[in-house]
Chains A and B, each alone.
Chain A
Amino acid sequence: MTGTTTPAPTRTTFDFDQMLQTVKDKQWSLADIDWDAPGAETMTDELRAKMRPFMADLVWIEHIGARGFASLAKKAPTPTIKRIYEYFHAEEQKHANAELALMKRWGMLDEDGSTPEPNINVKLAIKVLDDYGDSLPLTGLATLIPLLECALDGALVKFLLEEVTDPVCHEVFRHINSDEARHITVDFQVLELIGAGPLHKLIIESIALLQPQVIIGLIVVFTPLINKMRDNIVAMGLPEQKLYNAVKRFATIGSRGAHTARIPAYHVLKAQAAMVVDRTSPYHRLLADPMVKLTSFVPAKVLGRPQAWVDELTHEPVAS
């Protein structure tokens, strides 16, 4: 359909079929990893107490990423990109599972091995993605997901690897980082593809983004999500500058593309990212920090029953 309406010269040249094949070839399993290998003793009691809430956040952020890819799969412009997104959905789930398995290895899970509770900002993000993710136009979601991936995933994983010396953890994250590199590549190549599309389509989709639930979602859910994460990082005694460097990557990679700059949603989120990394910006004082405080008063009950996809998390490498 789009093949006839898209002007040929603006087509991008990225080979998504080749990428899908690479994704298939690079699959790994929790069963590939020896979870009882020596090294768990490097997790001291002090470090364990410090890392436990951090790991729980990380698991949930992967899980949000997973749900984001599930929505993207419903919007993908071609069957190949749809399949790639389905794999990425599963891979984010795999990362969450692997991080849960690490938590189990380090004695951070309860006796029954149940998944730790997410904080309220994560719960809000899950709820909003579940309710509205599937109905968001592709441009909105396709721009938001790489920002979240750069900011949260990228920054958090760096912290973790600097803090923890357990070789199994490093082995797991070699796999995860290699997956994430492909996620980021595809995220930005899809932005290129969208940006290369006809202008009227970009404008119509951008206007469709100006719905109250999208704007409120951005302000109430994703703004405090990033700042809450920063608060947690600062509470752990880590420099927040690293989070900001990761956020900056979003604009850096985005600016490399020839067509990405034609997407209005990209500019909106880039502007927000620029405010996030500027600690003196009134954005923090007037919007983001008050939002963290406000959302902390939201009772979890108003969000209703947890979504069924949350039950699919597991730390067991083998299911029988």
Chain B
Amino acid sequence: MTAPTRGYAGELIRGDGWRGRAFTGLTVAVIAPGREAAVIVPELVRTARAVKVFQEEPDWLLPLPLPLPGRLARPAARIGLRLAVRDPWTRRRLTPDPRFNRHRPRVDGRYYAALQEPHCTLISWPVYALVTGGVRSAEGVEHHVDCIVLGESAARREDLCA
């Protein structure tokens, strides 16, 4: 956790460091799976100039804490997603793989709305390195940002935090 990140010159925020902070005028990258990004992104979107969400994998989200039996939680989450996101390609990128995703749906009603703010971008390309200016993802583009918020799993990735 304390190891320096390979060359990233901006501020790197791990754990809960983003809570209660104002990111006024800053471009912020978030590298996290959907379940973590759902907590982080709606907060950042309120103050940051631009937010780039590098979503490592999507997770199911329930808009409300519904008292549903386990078997109905995922279909309900699917309906929630369908109602919240109009664009089919965005929806596809927010839909977890039913075969490999084992996480229970999390209750969050703000993530999908935050992602669709004009200054927020959902990026689902794999992130493979952090460089001086920002984040490099596998579609070949270097995304320059003022600070990077790492989710729990991203903070443990040796290739990012070598």
Cβ–Cβ contact B141 & A29, under 8 A: yes
Closest to A95 in B: B140
A308 to B128, CA, bound (A): 24
Quick check: is B137 within 8 A (CB to CB) of the other chain? yes
Closest to B133 in A: A318
Q: Which residues in chain A, 102-121, are within 8 Å of chain B measured between CB atoms? A: none
A-binding segment of B30-38, B40-48, B64-72, B83-91: B83-91
A134 to B87, CA, bound (A): 16
- Assess A27 versus B144: contact at CB under 8 Å? Given A82-B97, A308-B87, A309-B89: no
Q: What 1/0 mask marks residues of chain B from 132 to 162 whose CB sits below 8 Å from any chain A CB? A: 0100111111111100000000000001000
Chain A contact residues, CB within 8 Å of chain B: 24, 27-31, 74, 79, 82-83, 86-87, 90-91, 93-94, 97-98, 134, 307-309, 312, 314, 316-320
Give which listed residue, B125, B129, B133, B144, contacts A93 with CB less than 8 A: B125
Give which listed residue, A29, A74, A308, contacts B136 with CB less than 8 A: A29
Query: Which residues in B have their C-beta under 8 angstroms from that of A82?
Result: 97, 100
Cβ–Cβ contact B142 & A31, under 8 A: yes
Cβ–Cβ contact A27 & B141, under 8 A: no
A280 to B153, CA, bound (A): 58
- Assess A30 versus B128: contact at CB under 8 Å? Given A308-B87, A309-B89, A320-B27: no
Interface class of chain A by DSSP: helix
Cβ–Cβ contact A308 & B89, under 8 A: yes
Quick check: is B126 within 8 A (CB to CB) of the other chain? yes
Cβ–Cβ contact A318 & B144, under 8 A: yes
Q: Can you give 29 A-B contacts (C-beta < 8 A)?
A: A24-B159, A27-B128, A27-B129, A29-B136, A29-B141, A29-B142, A31-B131, A31-B136, A82-B100, A83-B126, A87-B138, A90-B126, A90-B138, A90-B140, A93-B140, A94-B139, A97-B140, A97-B141, A98-B140, A134-B92, A308-B87, A308-B88, A308-B89, A314-B141, A317-B142, A318-B141, A318-B142, A318-B144, A319-B143
- Closest approach, in angstroms, between the C-beta of A46 and any C-beta of chain B? 30
Query: Which residues in A have their C-beta under 8 angstroms from that of B125?
Result: 90, 93
Closest to A94 in B: B140
Give which listed residue, A134, A307, A316, contacts B141 with CB less than 8 A: A316
Query: Which residues in B have their C-beta under 8 angstroms from that of A86?
Result: 126
A41 to B161, CA, bound (A): 41
- Closest approach, in angstroms, between the C-beta of A6 and any C-beta of chain B? 16
- Assess A27 versus B139: contact at CB under 8 Å? Given A74-B97, A308-B90: no
Chain B residues with a Cβ closer than 8 Å to the other chain, count = 25
Closest to B128 in A: A27
A263 to B133, CA, bound (A): 48
A90 to B56, CA, bound (A): 13
A307 to B88, CA, bound (A): 9
A314 to B139, CA, bound (A): 10
A29 to B144, CA, bound (A): 13
Cβ–Cβ contact A30 & B27, under 8 A: no
Query: Which residues in B have their C-beta under 8 angstroms from that of A316?
Result: 141
A30 to B142, CA, bound (A): 8
Give which listed residue, A24, A30, A74, contacts B140 with CB less than 8 A: A30
Which of B89, B90, B126, B141 lies at the interface centre, i.e. has the most chain A CB atoms within 10 A of its CB? B141
- Known A28-B140, A319-B143; further 15 A-B contacts with Cβ < 8 A: A27-B129, A29-B136, A31-B141, A31-B142, A87-B126, A90-B140, A94-B139, A97-B140, A97-B141, A98-B140, A308-B90, A317-B140, A317-B141, A318-B141, A320-B143
Q: Which 10 residue pairs of A and B lie closest in terms of their CB atoms, listed nearest first?
A: A94-B140, A90-B138, A308-B89, A320-B144, A31-B142, A93-B139, A27-B128, A30-B140, A90-B125, A90-B139
Closest to B141 in A: A319
Closest to A88 in B: B138
A317 to B131, CA, bound (A): 14
Which of B133, B139, B140 lies at the interface centre, i.e. has the most chain A CB atoms within 10 A of its CB? B140
Closest to A86 in B: B126
Which of A30, A82, A90, A316 lies at the interface centre, i.e. has the most chain B CB atoms within 10 A of its CB? A90
- Closest approach, in angstroms, between the C-beta of A19 and any C-beta of chain B? 15
Query: Which residues in A have their C-beta under 8 angstroms from that of B139?
Result: 90-91, 93-94, 97, 312
Query: Which residues in B have their C-beta under 8 angstroms from that of A307?
Result: 88-89
Query: Which residues in B have their C-beta under 8 angstroms from that of A312?
Result: 139
A108 to B138, CA, bound (A): 25
A93 to B97, CA, bound (A): 21
Query: Which residues in A have their C-beta under 8 angstroms from that of B100?
Result: 79, 82
